[in-house]
Chains A and B, each alone.
Chain A
Amino acid sequence: MAFFLMASVLPFIAGGMADSGLPSHHADDENLRTRFSWFLSGASLITSIPALILMTAHVGFAGFASENGVTLLQATFMVAIIWALPANIVLIGAIAGGYSLLGAAIAVGLSSIRLMPMVAAFVPEMRGPKTRKITLVFLSHFIAVTAWVMGMERLKHVPRDMRTSYFAGLGITLTMTNTLVVAIVYFLSTDFPPMVFAALFFLTPMYFLTSLWGSARDRSIHVAMVSGLLLFPVIHSIAPAYDLLLTGVAGGIVTMAYVHLAKRGNAP
């Protein structure tokens, strides 16, 4: 575990040195230190409310995995390598349902398409002027809904060229910690009364609802949010298999219509 952390941190520190473009060792050291301190400040978000809420969601996941005959090691492997809770739940459902490899992959793929527009919107926020594509590809693995909401909220307060280091700290720590949470909860086979689980499961949507609202920098995000919330139940009743995807597209169309109307309204 510690080795993995070192191995994943080092390229950023190295990347930082290559990025600086300054010949002097002193400047490299300085840059390295700044990068590392931004990495740590991203990592320190592990004690924030949203990070704690995500851990409670993983407490529930550990129980779900063990109920469905997935071993401790397999469950922890899933969390680290897939790092998207809905995809993990779909995968375990497919395993329990006796799906073929291809069938399971299609089901998981459909639940994960949503990550594509999320990452596409996140990358312009996170990249610095000299960020390499390979760094972004590596970091994209750590983007799931919690890290996305946290990043969209906080990255704008981080200097541009330090954002990849900051997100590396946030994303890697979040993933590693939750992997560990699943392993520990599974091992102890902790059980809670149903009321506690109900309260825990409600934390995630409640938190997302207000933090996503608060992270918006202009009205269009609020329009997108409200249309997503209202369109989802309608679309779910028509096309349950593609409900999230279609909600995204339809909500996007409504929002763009709003943006155009607002622009026309403001035109002299």
Chain B
Amino acid sequence: MTWQSLTDWWWPYLFILLAGWLPTDIWRFIGVFIGGRVREDSEALIAVRAVATALVAGVIAQLILYPSGALAESSVFLRIGAAAAGFVAYLALGRRVIISVIAGEAVLLCGLLLA
């Protein structure tokens, strides 16, 4: 059974439900039951939070190192440099997220224009 298997109007929606919604929300629901069992101050919660944080950091690294679409054509060193510049600006100039975004984007755009 593929996306093209049936021509009925409802088939793509059923496909999205079974191949998209179900394998996504099932993990969220399992997460609720695991989260319901860990105590507020327990070691288990620190571990779960560490895994979740490392995972999100992995997503960040993925977006910077292996982006899709228009960003993929830029140099990886430019992207790493822009992210580093944004992060240093954040630490140095009063820890405001907006400053990191402006600094990072400025470096990226300068690099793209010069390339």
Contact = CB atoms under 8 A, between A and B. Distances in A.
Interface of A: 49-50, 53, 60, 64, 71, 74, 77-78, 81-84, 86-89, 91, 94-95, 98-102, 104-106, 108-109, 112-124, 127, 133, 136-137, 140-141, 143, 145, 148-149, 194-195, 197-199, 201-214, 216, 220-221, 223-229, 231-233, 235-236, 243-245, 247-252, 254-256, 259
Interface string B1-29: 11110000000110111111111111111
B53 A115 contact: no
Given A81-B16, A247-B55, A214 B95 contact: yes
A205 B63 contact: yes
A235 B62 CA distance: 11
Contacts, number: 315
7 contacts: A78-B16, A105-B22, A114-B27, A121-B35, A121-B53, A122-B35, A137-B32
A143 B22 CA distance: 15
A72 B56 CA distance: 30
A98 B17 CA distance: 17
Contacts of A256: 46-47, 50
Nearest to B61: A232
Contacts of B2: 98-101
A69 B1 CA distance: 18
Nearest to A217: B49
B52 A209 contact: no
Interface of B: 1-4, 12-13, 15-32, 34-36, 38-40, 45-71, 73-74, 79, 82-83, 86-87, 90, 95, 97-98, 100-101, 104-105, 108-109, 112-113
Q: What secondary structure prevails in chain A residues at the interface with B?
A: helix
B68 A204 contact: no
B55 to A, nearest CB: 4
A249 B56 CA distance: 12
Given A121-B35, A209-B100, A87 B50 contact: no
Given A82-B25, A117-B52, 18 more contacts: A49-B97, A81-B20, A114-B52, A114-B55, A121-B35, A121-B52, A122-B35, A124-B38, A140-B32, A202-B67, A205-B83, A206-B83, A206-B104, A208-B59, A223-B50, A225-B56, A233-B65, A247-B58
A115 B4 CA distance: 29
Given A74-B16, A108-B19, A256-B47, A201 B71 contact: yes
B53 A228 contact: yes
A91 B16 contact: yes
Contacts of B100: 206-207, 209-210
Given A119-B27, A195-B112, A256-B50, A224 B57 contact: yes
A90 B81 CA distance: 28
A211 B26 CA distance: 27
Contacts of A207: 97, 100-101
A228 B61 contact: yes
